[in-house]
Amino acid sequence: MHFVKSIRLAIIAIAAASSAHAQSLPGGFVYLRDVDPSIIQDIRYATSSNFVGRPLAGYGAGECVVKREVGLRLRAVQHDLAAQQLSLKMFDCYRPARASLDMVRWSQNGRETPADRRYNPRIPKTELFRLGYIASHSQHSTGAALDLTLVDLKADNSAKIDPSKAYADCTAPVAERLPEGSVDMGTGYDCTDAMGHTAAPSITRDQRAWRKRLVAAMAKQGFVNYSKEWWHFSLPGAGGAAYDFPIQPRRN
């Protein structure tokens, strides 16, 4: 959910490609599946399993779209992890600018639901903008920022989200919170809480070790972690202008 306020927003409208051809993307952008199909994807903002509780504007498909350089470096990270029987799992990649504005509108709609509190257990949603968790401009919209985690390929990752179940909030023990089919990082994804800070002292030794392992794997390829969100990484110099083209299904 992290947003960089200083980034220059240049909304660029891109027409949808003809269904008879491969989905077109602006120059420099690629579908991650075309770079490395082994990287697991769980694009939460294309579903209702996120802090807003519905798909966000611009997410017409659950596809990770990134700048080509970002994709190539993710492939290198994945190659290193494969030797350890681990995999990356992508929660969010390129984010249309309209989705960031959708988040801002949600934070200001005057309603606070139990589903909202699942992701924001101690911070009222009206405070998320002031505290920097939500802003109108996102580095994700440049294609150079990512939200991700690690999957232990040796573990049972079969648990699925049950929409009818009342899960505990994102700081609860892993067995009680919304399943993510990944290693236990101490909180769920998009958890706006001090426990979500990468170096949070309140998590267990094993959880801290997993976070350090993720940060180290990403840092080897030049990615930088955001200290308040263990899942958020960016690649310095790979960004630029922000875009607003919608994410559409990838076509072969």
Q: Which has the closest alpha carbon to 34: 42, 44, 24, 43?
A: 24
Of the chain, the percentage scoring pLDDT greater than 70 comes to 91
Cβ contact 180:152 at 8 Å: no
Fold category of 29-234 in CATH: Muramoyl-pentapeptide Carboxypeptidase; domain 2 (3.30.1380)
Q: Which has the closest alpha carbon to 182: 204, 207, 203?
A: 207
pTM summary value: 0.89
Between these two residues, 13 and 212, which has the higher pLDDT value?
212
Q: What is the DSSP letter of 167?
A: P
Q: For the chain, which residues make up each domain, given as ranges?
A: 29-234
Between these two residues, 208 and 131, which has the higher pLDDT value?
208
pLDDT tens-place string over residues 92-134: 999 999 999 999 999 888 888 887 889 999 988 888 877 877 7
Q: Which residue has the tokens 């980034």?
A: 7
- Res. 229 pLDDT band, cuts 50 70 90: very high
Highest mean pLDDT among 22-36, 129-143, 227-241: 227-241
- Residue 231 host element (H or E): strand 229-234
Residue 252 to residue 23: CA distance in whole angstroms: 8
pLDDT of residue 112: 85
pLDDT tens-place string over residues 12-67: 333 333 232 346 899 899 999 999 999 999 999 999 999 999 999 999 999 999 99
Cα–Cα–Cα angle for 116, 119, 124, rounded to 5 degrees: 60
